[in-house]
Structure 1
């Protein structure tokens, strides 16, 4: 009976998190968009991304916005990245190029390259994406920029992955979905803790007020989530969740490469504020013990109580995460949510254990 009580307590904690996530799931896009068309700078840091830039620079150029520049940062590439940038810049005065050479103190550090790009920008409002990402529409830039105001200086967008055949693709997109549900929900609840550099915006004033990336400049990852964790407040963050403002990129094709990417991303979590580490840790551990204790209780004489608890928790999960998935155009993931969650829980645990004994890797 004690095992069942413990399982029930864990399930209640799980349900509390899903009620928190409902803040995003049932959130309607804000109508408080500015009609002013302030000048903005699109900032893209690229390392060995020649082929992606050939495809994506035209999509950034075609954005329906009256006044913007594109800051292309060549981060010490060894392919034709710089040549591609220069070819586009010849025919478009909006494109500015920052050519970064390796610095002994900050070798292969994306934050160093981004710092130079931000300093080169002539506009206060900065919108960031990655070289391997493309906007879903020509309204991406205008929609993201419309969220800026005197108070809202940091905009969180959604960076999705393309739908492709195969289980790995669904696992990657489910992890991306759940990450977005969390950071959008926490932000809506007044506790923003991260964003993704595939679709992120903030002002240069906010950047300089927080001394840029200096507190974590030597950590290879975290130009997006660590900066947001440090600079975001309950007052200065706005969400941009309109589908026309999504960005997309190709997910990893091999599980090993995806695991390496996730290990790099998760390595920054230990630098989050203590309250964020506690909340995120409790969520992941809650998921783990929900499944472990749930399965264990099914083999006891009180199995019917355990089954009822599992049903109620899964029903709540389907309603809230299913609604969020529809909002983020990931409806095809809904049917097998419990399976994806179970796979992801044990994958994350293995990554956390592996990360505890490794040094940080370079971003590329």
Structure 2
């Protein structure tokens, strides 16, 4: 009786995983021709930087070389203690489309990135806003055009893809796999009319959406979440569109060690605690069903006929390889598919360790 219960529980959770992957496949069909908005609309590109002097020197020129007629670059110096402000000012000598917002810490919003971003959003010259980070670069000179062409009178939030640079580091594979899997999920949910997050490395929205939800007021006390918690408030199936053309990507420098990545993901996962119940439920069910799939399949291989268990496990991997394989190809991460089982199991242990650590201590936010 006990073995039968374990077996049928395994079958149920395997089925849940397969349903999830079929659901994730929805984003693969997202870039069909659609009615575009007004072309070449004026855009304000917003970059919030804290102690990013080196990255600004490296990546800001790529923003300033975009092939776009009318755009402004809003540089927000968030109380930096290095030469960030001086670097920003050096670029204004040759580029008249730069506006600098120099933010000083105040007691009520000490070290709060959302406060700095709010000042930048209010000061932006144009209503269509495109966000990225100081350590990011657009992969093409048409990045601004690719992202903003998706604006229409109805679609006022555009979710883009922010990838990580490919490097010959063991941790790099895990970082890129986790980024890919996260993107597959939030693109798919948005595609199905239930957007729940975006990434500040590549996100665009009309300023009216910011004021409609009173900015970051609902989560100002939470130091992270200027992207995903804002999307939780502002995005819905009517106003949100996803875009995954390669020319619309941004690329960031990946964490160079597991310790660095661990600290980064602790912040992100702690923010997810503030998601809406429905999003936490479905994201949690995906994680829990995956853990139980691996746990129960391992147990059953020892106590149940393997001839029955093996086809079920292979069915899971067949569907997973199809969906993640095509997704990785679409998002230019094809290398990942060769290491999929290893990366998947390793990521589960990594995420579980973060969950346990966050139970005992709170992560640090915003440098």
Same fold (TM over 0.5): yes
> Which residue number corresponds to residue 58 of structure 2?
55
The question of 1:94 aligning with 2:97 is answered: yes
Deviations along 1:266-288, one digit per CA (max 9) or x if unpaired, are: 11111101000000000011111
Gaps of 5+ in 2: none
Which range is displaced more, 47-56 or 129-138? 47-56
The question of 1:37 aligning with 2:27 is answered: no
Partners of 2:151 and 2:158 within 8 A in 1: yes
Gaps of 5+ in 1: none
Partners of 1:288 and 1:346 within 8 A in 2: no
Please report how far the alpha carbon of residue 29 of structure 1 lies from its aligned counterpart in structure 2 after TM superposition.
4.2
d(CA) in 2 for partners of 1:149, 1:89:
32
SS of the aligned residue for 1:335 comes to helix
Please report how far the alpha carbon of residue 30 of structure 1 lies from its aligned counterpart in structure 2 after TM superposition.
4.0
Please report how far the alpha carbon of residue 225 of structure 1 lies from its aligned counterpart in structure 2 after TM superposition.
0.5
Partners of 2:37 and 2:152 within 8 A in 1: yes
Please report how far the alpha carbon of residue 303 of structure 1 lies from its aligned counterpart in structure 2 after TM superposition.
2.0
> Which residue number corresponds to residue 233 of structure 2?
230
1:103-182 equivalent positions in 2, closer than 5 A: 103-182=106-185
Partners of 1:72 and 1:97 within 8 A in 2: yes
Deviations along 1:57-77, one digit per CA (max 9) or x if unpaired, are: 111111111100000000111
| Number of equivalent positions | 364
Partners of 1:4 and 1:302 within 8 A in 2: no
From 215, 220, 232, the counterpart of 1:217: 220
Deviations along 1:139-179, one digit per CA (max 9) or x if unpaired, are: 10001010111111110000000000122100000000000
d(CA) in 2 for partners of 1:301, 1:73:
61
d(CA) in 1 for partners of 2:152, 2:361:
42
Partners of 2:28 and 2:327 within 8 A in 1: yes
The question of 1:73 aligning with 2:40 is answered: no
Which segments of structure 1 move beyond 4 Å, counting only runs of 4 or more? none
Deviations along 1:281-334, one digit per CA (max 9) or x if unpaired, are: 000111111111111111113222111111000000000110000000000000
Partners of 2:85 and 2:102 within 8 A in 1: yes
d(CA) in 1 for partners of 2:32, 2:135:
27
Please report how far the alpha carbon of residue 360 of structure 1 lies from its aligned counterpart in structure 2 after TM superposition.
4.5
d(CA) in 1 for partners of 2:362, 2:334:
37
1:3-14 equivalent positions in 2, closer than 5 A: 3-14=6-17
> Which residue number corresponds to residue 281 of structure 1?
284
> Which residue number corresponds to residue 195 of structure 1?
198
1:311-326 equivalent positions in 2, closer than 5 A: 311-326=314-329
Please report how far the alpha carbon of residue 217 of structure 1 lies from its aligned counterpart in structure 2 after TM superposition.
0.7
d(CA) in 1 for partners of 2:51, 2:31:
39
Which range is displaced more, 179-188 or 337-346? 337-346
The question of 1:21 aligning with 2:24 is answered: yes
From 340, 344, 357, the counterpart of 1:341: 344
Partners of 1:50 and 1:79 within 8 A in 2: yes
> Which residue number corresponds to residue 309 of structure 1?
312
SS of the aligned residue for 2:129 comes to strand
SS of the aligned residue for 1:334 comes to helix
1:288-299 equivalent positions in 2, closer than 5 A: 288-299=291-302
d(CA) in 2 for partners of 1:44, 1:300:
56
Partners of 1:29 and 1:241 within 8 A in 2: no
d(CA) in 1 for partners of 2:289, 2:50:
38
d(CA) in 2 for partners of 1:307, 1:128:
47
SS of the aligned residue for 1:71 comes to strand
Please report how far the alpha carbon of residue 359 of structure 1 lies from its aligned counterpart in structure 2 after TM superposition.
2.6
SS of the aligned residue for 1:325 comes to helix
